[in-house]
Amino acid sequence: MKMYGLEKLGISNMVAVHYNLSPAQLVEKALANNEGILSDTGAFVISTGKYTGRAPDDKFFVDTPEVHKYIDWGRNQPIEKEKFNAIFGKLVAYLQNREIFIFDGRAGANPEYTRRFRVINELASQNLFIHQLLIRTDEEYNESNDIDFTIISAPNFHCVPEIDGVNSEAAIIIDFESKLAIICGTRYSGEIKKSVFSIMNYIMPHENILPMHCSANMDPVTHETAIFFGLSGTGKTTLSDGSYLDEVNETIVTIAKPNEWSTWDKDSHTWKIDNDLLNKKLKELREKALKDLAEAKSNFLNQPLEIEKAGKKYTFENNEKNRNSLSLKISLMWTLEQDKIEKVKVLNDKGLVEFIELNRAELKVLAKKIQDILEIADMAEQMAVVGISRYNIEQMLELNVSDFFQN
């Protein structure tokens, strides 16, 4: 089972691990797990139980020498590193043998200041919540992707105040030193969002950026900007791009942004395609596709090959090193006019290494299989390069370069 880096946190023995599922897939999982119901409009509805809002008395920041002077302890609660580690250890143990949902996304649209967050949930509905809020990366999992902060939310894991040093069964704890936040004992998904806010509010001032809880509109011509401040639910988002006042019906109309290459036209009250943004996105998708193409071709070239010898089946590990070694031996065999070649490295049916002898005819069969794979890979690569250069934005978004190498 692919773990997507969970093992680095000590999390293992999972029933299933799901990475960056689509909203539709997450709703399906949440319904199957009885996390909520669908309304008559198709919206997914859940009950948050005891906690219907944030629990400020249950929020803590790990107090370490590195961060101590940057936090106002008159307004924020400290917790010792040792207590955090103890709770985290129990949380990791709790997550064993469970179904886990992972979402990787970004906070902050400006590439210079954006931060990558990994959110790990035991509930599909909470993973859906953060999937709809953070900026989606549209990237496949890559171990080399740097994650700036990890948030783990486990509503069904309850703390014990007398032992854990917290105030109730719920706890929201952020450790800036280990770049880790945990949310326990509450099904209120807003704690995930507010944890992202808290983390960004700590990080950004260090980069001379003032974080603000607001929304903004910018005139596309003059670039004059209006900033809307207000508590949650007071209309900041409603008044930002994508909304306008229907004066006839005296109602606020909101139109969802269809994609990231559209801009809001205040005169026509519509989203219009910005060609510069569109071309920028196409360039990004094509560069990523070409990078993925190289990996897909390598995977196709290195597919193992089956060899049958004396009624037994073996596997030839068809990687570049073994291909080169085999090619050298074949050339030598032909030059010396030998009828057999010794020590072809293979794996037996138990996965153990063996060396078997192949005669001229058997070598010819193996060489033909390798040659066929090389020719198919080159042809598929050429077709993919042509397609990538010609596909429109919709086709590029749906593109999976591995499909070109399917037999």
Could you state, in order of their start, the residue ranges of all structural domains in the chain? Answer: 6-207, 214-273, 300-405
Q: What is the pLDDT of residue 231?
A: 81
Alpha carbon distance 340, 308 (integer Å): 16
Q: What is the pLDDT of residue 243?
A: 65
Q: What is the pLDDT of residue 217?
A: 76
Q: What is the pLDDT of residue 241?
A: 65
Q: What is the pLDDT of residue 221?
A: 67
Q: What is the pLDDT of residue 83?
A: 97
Q: What is the pLDDT of residue 144?
A: 67
The structure's pTM equals 0.62
Residues ≥6 apart with Cβ < 8 Å to 100: 6, 11, 14, 16, 17, 18, 120, 121, 122
Q: What is the pLDDT of residue 145?
A: 75
Q: Is the distance from CB of 282 to CB of 387 less than 8 angstroms?
A: no
Cβ atoms within 10 Å, residue 307? 19
The DSSP string of 320-340 is: HHHHHHHHHHHHHHHHHT-SE
Q: What is the pLDDT of residue 187?
A: 95
pLDDT along the chain (407 residues), means of 10: 90 93 94 94 90 92 96 95 97 95 92 93 97 84 83 97 96 97 96 96 94 80 82 74 68 75 81 89 92 90 86 86 75 61 78 82 82 88 92 90 81
* Token output for 85: 């580690």
Instruction: Assign domain 6-207 one CATH number from 3.40.449.10, 2.60.370.10, 3.40.630.30, 3.90.1150.10.
Output: 3.40.449.10
Alpha carbon distance 341, 362 (integer Å): 10
